[in-house]
Chain A
Amino acid sequence: MMSNKIETQKPDMWTARLRQSWQKNLPIEKLLPDTQPAYVASWIYVFGVLTLSALAVIIASGVVLAFEGPSWYHISDAGRFVNSLHFWSVQLFFFFMVVHLWGKFWMAAWRGKRQATWITGSIAFVVSIATAFTGYLTQTNFDSQWIAFEAKDGFNSVGIGAWFTVTNLGQMLLMHVAFLPLVLGLITVIHVLQVRRKGVVPPIDAFDQTLKGVNK
């Protein structure tokens, strides 16, 4: 029988189930918190947000470069400056990300069912390297000539070079400005959502009662 009132809570609806799951696992209070555990009090914690900020500058400067084309910066002072912004934001991005990664390693940040956070973060690191590498190949200067010549041997040696052709500027450019940023962006979003969902990992020994009170 048809009803005038639509049953939005019907559990067999995919949309309703997705919404309920989202509200349960990632309510707005977790997504945009105004408090956090008191133990989150170290400089090491800023490197995550610094990495994201550097990524934002990379994307912004990269979009400008993409609009003007890969050879623009050779002939324009403005282009050279935007290219410099892109270059240095990449350098900062990797510096922040490596410190962030080491910090999370020494925190054993995968504890408490946070393995997916570590896995997405480390995959983001690997995809970032691939994205930066294709960027170096699309500089259309001597560096990209040299890197293409040298790198082809590595990829060819294991058969990957048959499909991933580092000497093909068109393929590398599309990889650099379309496919890899899309993958990196997606993984980064999943990684950040994992952090918000699971929360920041508590200190090692925080719940080990045998160690409590020793310093007192």
Chain B
Amino acid sequence: MSADKSAIHSKESAPWQGQVRRYDIVKEGVIALLIVSLLTLTLSIFMGSPDEPSLTFKGWAASNSDNFYTTAVQELAGTSESAGYGAPYNDAGVGLNLGPLWLQKWAGIHHPINSANDFVITPLGEQQQPAEVAAALSTWRSAAVVDKQRWAVDYDAALSAVEGKVSAVKSGDYGPVPTLAKGLTAMATSGALDGLLLSQGGFFQTDHTKQILFFGDGAYLDDAGTAANLQGGTWGMMNETGRYPGQAWLWLYSLWYQIPPFNNEESHPIGANADAYILALMGFMTLGLVMIPFIPGVRSLPIRIPLHRAIWRQYYQTEGIGKRKKK
């Protein structure tokens, strides 16, 4: 640091010796609080706030029973998104990576979820079932793993062949799977599944991980998100239901999902692992924001780009301080 710069730095850190003016900090605070309170009150009265009711399994089964039924089959077959997710729910997938860093996998399984048991078999077993469903449940429980897999996978494939239209599925040896899916759909339609998945055999329960994952396996939640313009590819991260501002402060986070290579999920390794890369990038940028005073180039931007001339215009005029000459 040159002698001149050092002297300026020293003066900038010393108590101000120049002209001062009256300043009532308490009055300023009270007036600001009143203004903000009035502004908040006015916005609340005239704009309200969003509150779109939560989705339910009952609503899903009632509005699109075939999709619910098909999702139940996928849970049994292990072909749903949650069944193959990987950590922290199971070891069926390797998860995302940051190049050589497999942080998701390394973190391990902290919330074990077995999609077939947690979403289908256990809820069916928690409630008294019609005779055919009870028999199907008994058959499933006593069957060999290889048989369970064969029945469910074959039936899932048969459903996929007719695009999930349950009534159009070709007949075949699907074991108890169709009856189990039918039984679960009936439970969901009656509303019983919502309560059973929430309680999970206990009284108090505040963890909704299983319900959220089950919802995400089907089309119901996804369709509702699309309808509300909440998908990540359409700036959904900072949107909100209704005509409300949402989390506008996430605009930069949301931006990365709109541009290559992050939005190229199909054919680019970074796009395929966009969640991990974008989170790491935002972490890096956040660190940069905090450390701006120590980053050469960035910290001198406000000195090179003279927006401060507008902020302290009055002071510069009074003191007769001119513009910095170009070298």
Contacts and interface: CB of A to CB of B under 8 A. Distances in A.
B37 A84 contact: no
Interface stretch (B119-127, B153-161, B178-186, B278-286): B278-286
A165 B111 contact: yes
Contact of B23 (A36, A88, A140, A207): A36
Given A154-B275, A162-B88, A199-B15, A213 B110 contact: no
Contacts of A156: 87-88, 95-96, 104, 275
B285 to A, nearest CB: 11
Interface string B281-308: 0000010011111100001101101011
B303 to A, nearest CB: 6
A154 B278 contact: yes
B53 interface: yes
B273 A157 contact: yes
Interface residues of A, number: 102
Nearest to B109: A162
A66 interface: no
Interface stretch (B130-138, B139-147, B168-176, B247-255): B247-255
Nearest to B318: A38
Contacts of A163: 110
Interface stretch (A2-10, A11-19, A106-114): A106-114
Nearest to A144: B54
Q: How large is the interface on B (under 10, 10 to 19, 20 to 34, 35 or more residues)?
A: 35 or more
Interface in B234-292: 236-237, 240-241, 244-245, 247-250, 273, 275-276, 278-280, 286, 289-292
Interface string A132-147: 1100100111111110
Nearest to B50: A143
B323 A81 contact: no
Interface in A121-175: 122-123, 125-126, 129, 132-133, 136, 139-146, 148-150, 152-163, 165, 167-171, 173
Nearest to B294: A115
Contacts of B1: none
Given A57-B37, A158-B103, A214-B320, A119 B293 contact: yes
Contact of B311 (A35, A106, A123): A106
B320 A84 contact: no
A197 to B, nearest CB: 10
Interface string B196-227: 00000000001111001101100001001100
Given A89-B40, A132-B247, A169 B206 contact: yes
Interface in A168-216: 168-171, 173, 198-199, 201-208, 211-216
B107 to A, nearest CB: 3
B290 A122 contact: yes
B208 A56 contact: no
Given A84-B49, A159-B103, 13 more contacts: A88-B47, A94-B249, A108-B303, A112-B12, A125-B289, A126-B286, A145-B215, A146-B228, A158-B103, A165-B110, A168-B208, A204-B312, A213-B320
Q: A-B pairs with the 7 shortest C-beta distances?
A: A214-B322, A170-B206, A112-B12, A159-B107, A110-B293, A84-B44, A112-B13
30 contacts: A39-B314, A42-B312, A50-B36, A57-B36, A74-B51, A105-B292, A106-B307, A110-B299, A111-B12, A118-B292, A122-B290, A123-B290, A132-B247, A142-B224, A143-B240, A150-B236, A153-B275, A154-B275, A156-B88, A156-B96, A159-B103, A162-B110, A171-B207, A202-B11, A202-B16, A207-B11, A212-B322, A214-B321, A215-B321, A215-B322
Interface of B: 7-9, 11-16, 18-26, 28-29, 32-33, 35-37, 39-41, 43-44, 47-55, 87-88, 95-96, 98, 103-104, 106-108, 110-111, 206-209, 212-213, 215-216, 221, 224-225, 228, 230, 232, 236-237, 240-241, 244-245, 247-250, 273, 275-276, 278-280, 286, 289-294, 299-300, 302-303, 305, 307-308, 311-324
